[in-house]
A and B are shown apart, each in its own frame.
Chain A
């Protein structure tokens, strides 16, 4: 059943070819239908899952000579992320309802990216995983290079290069593991069970972890993220920040950490007070949390504020992962979901609701426009998104951050405090952006700034935008108020044997 999320989305890609060239509306409707089908399946799977235990969807031999199987499955963690992908995909299409430039190609590439993401989250064969993982890079490049804005070629190229660099590192690590294991399989479960020598894990783990973490925006390899997010068209920024960064974090958890659990062990000596890769990555994650928030505080481009906020929030995910402790890791997975929803919403407001009407993202220019009055719906949506992004209780971010901080408080007390400081700075930058963009005092420039006769000419917030905003807000609120609906799935998935070795490491 779950495999149909992938197939139906690819079907959507193929169907774009059948849409007549200038039928933009038909292209949109086809895309929306296939995204809705994916969301429906994901939602049904989450609701029907009795617990987060692993369930095989399909497992057939694919390339016999190498022992490669077409092996799709899902546990609680996959389900949560598949649900996130479904929600983000539908919302992204609703926020691209006004794409008029080559709409068929746009939606075809968009759906291809979504299908690749579904594939990554459902693959339990490393070869298959890698195929889907790479499949997601190509559409990203074109989406940004063709439909992007500010410095789009630069942003697209930088993003693609960083992605390939990361994949290269992952590939080296995984190939080495395959060779060393001597087994004719690429099955994740079998490889995770294989006792690789400690010395091998000590270099293979950081290599693969870092390779994935680049895509998750780990400091100091995060620089592709803000430029890429800013250059991308709205729907692509939403997917990039919302889902693609999660691919990296998911790879860290699902592959790097399970296959090389002993790479996290202490080295036995200390460099600069750090005694293991685990501590190194925790430190980098916390630097990312604080640094991302501080840089976001001084940006003058509205979209860069959100771009850097993603770096900060993804730092929490990585910090939660390396706590090696059930609370912190559940928090990390929940934060993936939460950040995916909230970052999507923030990008939607900035990129679609504001930029395409005001034609500027400069905060000091927006300040003079009195957007709060002209676009009340955008202001309210952004206010809600800000509150959610700050991690105020009632929204998914709070529950996630609470879990991460509690986990980190046990594993790395000092770093947990630093992360708390980063979260406080997060309140400041989002509040500053909210104030400047929507509640500035309208100056005389308000009418003259825009040649077409001010903002009033650009039309109110359209219905698809409203629907998209409501969908995302609901997704965050439901989890914030009733976190059990996802946390129980995540917790029982983390209790499966796949993660047993890891969690043992956390107790030491």
Chain B
């Protein structure tokens, strides 16, 4: 079942790429059809998902590489389900946003990215998890390289090299883990990590080179962390991101921020925290402050931007910083918390929701930014526009909803995730959480500035003819907007399937 989920977009991508290059229209429709088919499959998985079970469901296990005793092992829990749902929603959005690009190859590559995402979110063994993790990187590289803006060459290389460096660190760390534990199975490694067997094995198998078990553990932790930190990104590993998001075509940026950045956070939750609970505890304080730095500095940087896409890019870093804050708080020894377990559950649910909601909102925002760029003849500076509200009221109204969701206005989807993260993080780590609030304030300032500069104020005479959203565009963005409203009013929709998973993770797998 889950294999089929990965296979469908992959095969779809192949079929779409095989179309003659003149068949742009067919390619677009076919690709959209495949991505909607994947969405239907995900909804079907959701309907069969038992929310009362905390462990993995829809599991598949087949022996794969017998010389290393590796299995092909798939499954989803609440977290995985949320992530495949996000990937299934963002991909059709990205395809719709790319309707001006006529080459079949582009649409095929987007589907391949989706296949990589599904694979990553369902794999439970490092071996093929890594396959999909890298598989999503290669098509993304070509999407940027071939269809990006003027600086696409250097930006694509920078993106690839940064991510690759992170991946290599990750791979080396896992080779070390394998040499010690003789398994790539995430749950086995987590079990060993929880019981403290992993450190003993590490010392026994890899020690003796002047490295104590503690150092080895920290070294491997650092390797795995680096791999995910580049992808999320965590400051100071973020420098590839603003340029990449700004240069990539709108649809690709939507995929990057909407779904691929979540691979990093997902990795932190599924892999790093369960396997290294001890190190998470030891490093809780530095990690918390790293999260605070990411949140505050990226918000400050966003405030300083004059380019719409770069502003949104920094705001993306800022929003994922809250996820890191929540995850780091899990390892905190519980400062003021009367019931640390409950607070951890709140923070963890918050992180999961924030991932989903940020994915949805950021994808939509970059879509709108792409539309502005397209209508503005390539301009996207905050000061190039002004007063658009008067000529394009629907455009500004709908983009305004997305912006307010990004700001975290209650009643829209962005609020609940951040609220839960802070609710959990405050008692567990009061000072860092308090410092992170500055990030929220600055976010409010830069988003309001954006609305002020672009939508309000006197109309820039140049844009007298700025077209409003066409009917087709309105229909295209409507589902995402409706979902944002629905989740704002009824977050239980996502919290339901998450609940049991979060309880189980907090009780068994996570530090604390």
Contact = CB atoms under 8 A, between A and B. Distances in A.
Interface of A: 326-327, 330, 383, 387, 392-394, 398-399, 402-403, 405-406, 409-410, 413-414, 416-417, 420, 423-424, 427-428, 431, 435, 439, 441, 482-484, 487-488, 490-491
B209 interface: yes
Nearest to B176: A409
A392 B134 contact: yes
Contact of A393 (B67, B130, B145, B172): B130
A387 B141 CA distance: 11
Contacts of A424: 164-165, 168
A58 to B, nearest CB: 30
Interface residues of B, number: 30
Interface string B163-181: 0110010001001101100
A491 B67 contact: yes
Contacts, number: 73
B467 interface: no
A153 B68 CA distance: 46
A434 B375 CA distance: 34
Contact of A406 (B135, B142, B179): B179
B138 A327 contact: no
Interface in B394-432: none
16 contacts: A392-B135, A393-B128, A393-B131, A393-B134, A394-B134, A406-B175, A410-B179, A413-B206, A416-B175, A417-B172, A420-B175, A424-B165, A427-B164, A435-B153, A483-B64, A488-B66
A383 B134 contact: no
B66 A405 contact: no
B285 interface: no
A152 to B, nearest CB: 35
Given A393-B134, A414-B209, 14 more contacts: A326-B67, A327-B67, A327-B68, A392-B134, A392-B135, A399-B65, A405-B175, A413-B206, A424-B164, A435-B157, A439-B146, A484-B63, A487-B65, A491-B67
A403 B67 contact: yes
A405 B175 CA distance: 8
A421 to B, nearest CB: 9
Nearest to B130: A393
B345 to A, nearest CB: 34
B418 to A, nearest CB: 35
Contact of A487 (B66, B134, B142): B66
Contacts of A402: 68, 175
Contacts of B209: 413-414
A416 B64 CA distance: 25
B237 interface: no
Contacts of A413: 206, 209
Nearest to A416: B175
B467 to A, nearest CB: 32
Interface in B126-147: 127-128, 130-131, 134-135, 138, 142, 145-146
A403 B130 contact: no
Interface of B: 63-68, 127-128, 130-131, 134-135, 138, 142, 145-146, 153, 157, 160-161, 164-165, 168, 172, 175-176, 178-179, 206, 209
A490 to B, nearest CB: 8
Contacts of B165: 424
A283 B146 CA distance: 41
B66 A406 contact: no
A402 B126 CA distance: 12
Contacts of A490: 67
B270 to A, nearest CB: 18
Highest count of chain A CB atoms <10 Å: which of B135, B138, B146, B165 = B138
Contacts of A428: 161
A423 B131 CA distance: 17
A420 B179 CA distance: 15
A321 to B, nearest CB: 16
Contacts of B127: 393
Contacts of A327: 67-68
Highest count of chain A CB atoms <10 Å: which of B66, B178, B179 = B179
A76 B130 CA distance: 28
Contact of B135 (A393, A482, A488): A393
A439 B138 contact: no
Contacts of A392: 134-135, 138
A420 B66 contact: no
Contacts of A406: 68, 175, 178-179
B67 A431 contact: no
B157 A431 contact: yes
Contact of A420 (B63, B131, B168, B206): B168
Contacts of A383: 142
B407 to A, nearest CB: 39
Contacts of A410: 179
